[in-house]
Amino acid sequence: MALIDKIIESPSLVWVMEIKRSRDVTAHSISAVYNTMSTTTGSSSSTIVESRNWLDLPDDVMAKILVKLGAVEIMETVQFVCVSWWRICKNSSMWRRIRITNPDLPCTRYPYFRKMCCEVVNRSDGQLIDISIEHFCDDELLQYIIERSSGLKRLRLLACFGIEEFPKAAAKLPMLEELVIKFYRLSTKELEEIGKSCCRLKSLKLDIEAPILNTNYPCDEQALVIAENMPGLRHLACWKSAY
C-alpha cells in the first residue's frame, strides 16, 4: 500500500468528520483533533500528543484528504480555511469526481446549487469522469456539464425532474460506462438512442415501472430494446418507482 493511502486510511483522521459537523472550521481546530493520537503497546495504552504543521503536508496528500469531504463542504467551507487550502481546492485534480446530493434540498436552492455545480465543473478543466446530482439538474446544466466533460464515464441523475431531453445529451457521451437515472422514465426510443450513442455502457440503473395512472407501460419492450442496443452491458438494475 502506498504511503499516501496509509495516511488517508489512518483511523486518526477523525477530523474529517469534525469538518462535516461544523461550519466554523479553522486550521487550528482541525490540527488539534489530528494531533492527539493513541498508541497501544501490549496490554497498556498511552496517548502521545504531537505538534504537526498542516502546511508541511504535500499538496497531493492534503488534496486526497480534503476531497473526501465532498463538493458542497469544500465549496462552502474548506476552501476558505487558509491560502494553501484555497490553492489546493482550485486544482483540477480535486474535481475528477463530483457528488452534489441532498434528498431534502428545497427547490428555492436549485439556482444556487446549479451555479456551484458549474463552478466545480469548470475547475475540473475537462478531467471530470464521475458526477452525481440530485434534484437540481436540468437540461441546460446537463448540457453545460457534458460540453466540458467529454471523458465522463459515470453519470448519476437522481430525481432531476428538470431534465426532459436526456438522449440529446447522451449523444455527446461516447466514453460513458455507467448510467444511473432515478425518477425519469426513458421511452424505448430514448433507450435505443442512448445505446447507439454510449457504446461503452457497462452498467445501467433506471426506472422501468409505469406511472401510477398508466399500468400498461411496455416494460418487456423496453427490456428488448436494452438487450438489442447495449451489447456491452454487464449490469442492469430496474427500480419500480411510482410518480
| AA letter at 98 | I
CA distances from 93 to 88, 117, 136, 187 (A): 9, 16, 24, 36
pLDDT for the residue 13? 41
pLDDT for the residue 208? 55
**Do the beta carbons of residue 176 and residue 183 sit within 8 Å?**
no
Give the integer Cα–Cα distance in Å for 79 and 89. 6
Give the integer Cα–Cα distance in Å for 241 and 243. 6
Percent helix, strand and coil across the chain, each to the nearest 5: 45, 20, 35
Closest CA to 107 of 185, 146, 160: 160
Whole-number average pLDDT of the chain: 78
Place of cell 486518526: 12
To the nearest 10 degrees (0 to 180), the angle between helices 110-124 and 139-147 is 10
CA atoms within 13 A on the CB side of 145: 31
Q: Which residues pair with 100 in a beta bridge?
A: 133
Q: In the chain, which residues have pLDDT < 50?
A: 1-26, 28-45, 209-216, 242-243
Give the integer Cα–Cα distance in Å for 83 and 79. 8
**Do the beta carbons of residue 131 and residue 98 sit within 8 Å?**
yes
* Pairing, β 36-41 against β 130-134: unpaired
Can you give the pTM of this predicted structure? 0.73
- Residue 12 has phi, psi (to 5 degrees) of -70, -10
Give the integer Cα–Cα distance in Å for 224 and 192. 10
- Residue 105 has phi, psi (to 5 degrees) of -70, 120
pLDDT for the residue 211? 46
**Do the beta carbons of residue 123 and residue 95 sit within 8 Å?**
yes
CA distances from 163 to 58, 142, 145, 166, 242 (A): 41, 8, 13, 6, 18
- Stated as kind and residue range, the H or E segment containing 204 is strand 203-207
Closest CA to 181 of 171, 197, 194, 172: 194
